A and B are shown apart, each in its own frame.
Chain A
């Protein structure tokens, strides 16, 4: 994702226009898909939440894991950008359907782990095993799985890059990366989220999963702890990738390729920064809402504090994408550390603006949200990830069409 920061590919005015356009597209999509008073009403919330996480994961799978550009380079370049964009958007949509309904609901949930399929949960019977709760629980499991996927896939792309398959062909590299990313995704999912899902049922599925091991540490058995932590880590992965141009991890590269050392350092450093960021958020929350306590609800709940840290990280990530994609990663000063610092501060400022928007009466108008914090069943992540998905689609599949101008002779890798 890192680009040459001296490229000037987006007129700032067009950037604003484009951003406003994307905002409107997201608004319309929200109105059709998620608004509880309109058409599809998918924001139940977990069903809609999981679908959007799976959709975004499909985009990341295509662009960062399978590196679809290198597979289809010849075909893609010759195609009209609109047709190309529509085709890949359609493929992503199809991928979401295949992953969610066929792979998880229809295959893994039917023949392996019951909680991934609403039908299998209902078939298992017991308290609360009715279609709606079953769909919510299966969706929760799927969204947790793909949260782990987003972490591992984006970390791998930033940390290891093409290593250790950089000398192999695109096909070998893509599939090798695919299997490794899903292997580690599965491991981290088991470690960070599986227990929560096993304890979503009554009685708890204690033979399938241990009680949440983080309970004493986090003052909650909810995996919102893990979710918040992963999202805080992701914020640093995105910041260093987009805003810091891959630095300082690039210092570990050899001949422009990733190394084990680079991947290891990136993993440890972003994990550490993520923990620090989470800690800072928790301190701020304590200051605003007083200390959370075991069993507290709304803003008093430790579980909500964790997911809220993740939600704010989500706003920061969205802000970083906006800065990078619509404002040429402003500012493009000569000193890397200075421009990285200013971009980071700008991303935080834009992120806080988005935060203000989401918790203001404007969100009641645009998103049919009830004013206030910690509404059960509401998380800004759904809107944030939908916004992020549209930005990625426009920039990856449509090459920034219609307002982004590519300088002649400069490869657009943005």
Chain B
């Protein structure tokens, strides 16, 4: 028996036997044949809002006061004034030259999201059907709890979300839920999120097997969703990631938080997509969420260089300090503008280096 075969058999009977759900066999089957996801001409990203919260310390305190990173997001009476949201408008130019739009995520605080949507003419685009569908990256509060702001303009919008939801998530999407959490100091039940407009449209729950067992969901030629079933902070599980194949340039990933890791996304594309060529990424990259450091973050800078990513647009949970250090070490970080300062609120960690693409910025791949 060859060494690798022996190790594989050990893995199959030992470690792998304990894996849950989408395990080794599925993964091997997926990798057996490279798939062609098609091509697009270009991709324009409008950063509607990336400020999920405005003050890191307050957000972190809420988490720590109620059990830390592993706690359930629905038991925390979040400070409402600190809540913002994450949402992106994507405009794909097809090879035929047609513009097609869709949303990634729907933010958190409805008041903030209404303000952001109005500023960017999103309600009209939703009502007219110009925005064709919405992809939910994951079920975190700052990406999903603002769902009412979208549904009140188009309750039947096709909705692609990770299959790994909890009952509270589905109640918010479909059952007019008003969720409350108890303030541990006062005992008072506090409003944390609500949705009075149930979703009535097509709901696609994504898993790693993908549509037709391909590992991906094809949205249009050159655009695909891939679901990574990874455990995430605040009891959430699974993230949908968007892949774009831009003609003559290569693969671009767009993420909400990129919990699986930006290089893991490119690694997946390298193994599974025909004609893989790395090009760019956009999104929260989930590196230094709270502006702290770890030697692993230096590893990611080295890895991004090794993967030859040519255009890196980041914000949200990436960490300003990571983006600054990455830019200083030669990573092609796309700089933002000062437009965010014209908004009624902005993040306390925003810096003049503008290494984040922040609210109001755009980037084209």
**In the complex, are the beta carbons of B237 and A284 less than 8 A apart?**
no
Which of A38, A369, A375 has the most chain B CB atoms closer than 10 A to its own CB?
A: A375
Which B residues are CB-close (under 8 A) to A220? 295-296, 299
- Cα(A201)–Cα(B292), bound, Å: 7
CB pair B264–A300 under 8 Å, yes or no, is: yes
Given contacts A128-B291, A359-B20, contact A377 B69 (CB under 8 A): yes
The distance in angstroms between the C-alpha atoms of A130 and B303, with both chains bound, is 29
Of the candidates A37, A132, A137, A297, which one forms a contact with B71 in the assembled complex, judged by CB atoms under 8 Å apart? Answer: A37
> A37: which B residues are within 8 A, CB to CB?
67, 71-72, 75
- Bound Cα distance A17, B286 (Å): 45
B69 touches A361 (CB 8 A): no
Q: Using A36-B70, A220-B295, A359-B20 as known contacts, say yes or no to A370 and B232 having CB atoms under 8 A apart.
A: yes
The majority secondary structure among interface residues of chain B is helix
The reply to whether A361 and B20 form a contact with Cβ atoms under 8 Å apart is yes
**Is A63 in the interface zone, CB < 8 Å from B?**
no
When C-beta atoms are compared, the residue in chain A nearest to B61 turns out to be A132
* B8 & A287 in contact (Cβ 8 Å cutoff): yes
Given A130-B57, A352-B18, A372-B231, verify A295-B72 contact (CB < 8 Å).
no
Q: Assess whether B237 is in contact with A296, with CB atoms less than 8 Å apart.
A: no
Of A3-11, A40-48, A78-86, which binds chain B?
A40-48
Contact A41 B261 (CB under 8 A): no
B contact residues around A12 at 8 Å (CB): none
Q: Would you give the 0/1 interface string for B260-273, flagging 1 where the beta carbon is closer than 8 Å to chain A?
A: 11111001000100
Q: Quick check: B261 and A201 within 8 Å, CB to CB?
A: no
- Interface size classification for chain B: 35 or more
26 contacts across the A-B interface (CB closer than 8 A): A35-B67, A36-B69, A36-B70, A43-B68, A44-B69, A45-B69, A127-B321, A201-B293, A221-B298, A223-B295, A287-B7, A288-B11, A288-B24, A293-B267, A295-B301, A297-B286, A298-B260, A298-B261, A303-B299, A361-B20, A368-B235, A370-B70, A371-B20, A371-B21, A375-B70, A378-B231
Question: Within the assembled complex, what's the spacing in Å between the Cα atoms of A370 and B61?
Answer: 21
What chain B residues lie within 8 Å of A202 (beta carbons)?
Answer: 292-293, 321, 325
Q: How many residues of A contact B (CB 8 A)?
A: 62
Could you say which residues of chain A place their CB within 8 Å of the CB of B296? 220-222, 301, 303
Return the chain A residue nearest B349 by Cβ: A127
Chain A residues in 8 Å Cβ range of B14: 284, 352
Q: Complex formed: what's the CA distance from A36 to B67 in Å? A: 4
**8 closest Cβ pairs, A-B complex:** A295-B303, A297-B261, A221-B295, A36-B67, A372-B231, A375-B231, A128-B292, A356-B18
| In the assembled complex, B276 has its CB within 8 A of some CB on chain A | no
- In the bound complex, do residue B261 and residue A222 qualify as a contact, i.e. CB atoms below 8 Å apart? no
6 additional A-B pairs beyond A283-B7, A360-B20, A370-B70, beta carbons within 8 Å, are A36-B69, A200-B293, A288-B16, A295-B306, A352-B15, A374-B231
B:62-80 near A, CB below 8 Å: 64, 66-72, 75
**Bound form: Cα–Cα A210–B358 in Å:** 35
Q: Does A19 contact B (CB under 8 A)?
A: no
Flag whether B300 is at the interface (Cβ < 8 A): yes
Q: Does A258 contact B (CB under 8 A)?
A: no
